[in-house]
Amino acid sequence: MVVFPIMKSLTRRALRGPLHPVRPVVAGVAVAAAAVLATSACGQVPSPSATSTQVGDAGTSSSTASGPSTDTNNATSSATSSAPADRHTVTSGAVRLEASMAVGLPQHPSGNGIRRMPGLVVEYTLTNTGSAPLVAYDVVPDDLGSATVPQDVNPEHAWVYVESGVLRLSKQGFAPAPGVRFAAAPVTGARALEAGARLTGRAYAVSPPTLDVPGDSFDAPRAAVGAGVEQWQFCVQVGERTGTLRAVPARGDVLQAPTAAPSGDDLICTEPATIPVA
């Protein structure tokens, strides 16, 4: 049994993305920027708001392609092409996930002089149509292992890995690796999803995509993102709200929740779609 006396994972992950030199863990998939993001979510982590919704049977899903959005209030989310975005709707129990998937630009970190490179972008809405409060584990730190969520956590960050031959952009937790214990329970970022309420958010991954998962202290997929991967999907972990969750300082809408691997139907995923290629 290995005991980690500090709260951060001892395995350093390679930093990836438009703000760091890319040190690919595996061979990337050649994906050209050729689509326009077709929704108008702002990309910030918003407070949940109530909404009236109707959904179909649990476990249903659908997808459509749509043209570019005419919204001019979200110019930073658009790429330079007019190719349609894939729209997906998935219903699992009391949770409905609506996602628009395309090639686009990141919105975070914000600031002048930051070079933004086109990548894979998902804009999504989660709706709680049930009567019980839920939690969406969709504010993912760049790494796991700390007992606190940083105030400057990037709300667009998502894990990137391959599952059953499909590229996943996933906002979720992971269980510690076998034999690993932490001095303090590691946490991830979450948001309250009250009964009858909805949340909006964004996910971004560099293109070509590279493996982005927690270090070896966590039980996470390690398969290469190979050139043969042709489909992708978006996943998000949503579960029951139990106990009292602390708010992240200066980020009152973000909660600190113990990180754990999703169980049962907690991980909601869109149907696989073809990765956009020019």
Q: What is the pLDDT of residues 132-165, one digit of tens each?
A: 999 999 999 999 999 999 988 999 999 999 999 9
Distance of CA 146 to the CA centre of its chain: 19
Of 98, 99, 95, 89, nearest to 129 (Cα)? 95
- Average confidence score pLDDT of the chain: 77
Query: What pLDDT digit, counting tens, does each position of 63-102 carry?
Result: 655 443 333 333 333 443 445 788 999 999 999 999 999 9
Residue range 200-215: mean pLDDT, rounded: 95
Q: Return the minimum-mean-pLDDT range out of 21-25, 33-37, 184-188, 241-245.
A: 33-37
Q: What pLDDT, on the 0 to 100 scale, is given for residue 119?
A: 93
Domain count across the chain:
1
Residue with tokens 């949940």: 48
8 Å CB contact between 268 and 97? yes
Structural domain that includes position 165? 2-274
Pairing of strands 231-240, 197-206: unpaired
Q: Return the minimum-mean-pLDDT range out of 4-8, 189-193, 203-207.
A: 4-8
* Coil, helix or strand at residue 76: helix
Q: Token digits for 227?
A: 């050139």
Number of Cβ within a 10 Å radius of residue 179:
9
Q: What pLDDT, on the 0 to 100 scale, is given for residue 125?
A: 98
pLDDT tier at 243, thresholds 50, 70, 90: confident
Number of Cβ within a 10 Å radius of residue 235:
23
Q: 85: part of which helix (H) or strand (E)?
A: strand 85-92
How far apart (Å, rounded) are the C-alpha atoms in residues 255 and 247?
Answer: 4
Enumerate the β-bridge partners of residue 50.
Answer: 197
Of 136, 89, 119, nearest to 273 (Cα)? 89
Q: What pLDDT, on the 0 to 100 scale, is given for residue 117?
A: 87
CA-based angle 108:38:70, to the nearest 5?
110
Residue range 246-253: mean pLDDT, rounded: 84
CA-based angle 123:213:65, to the nearest 5?
25
* % of the chain with per-residue pLDDT over 90: 55
- pLDDT score of 10 more than 70: no
pLDDT tier at 277, thresholds 50, 70, 90: low
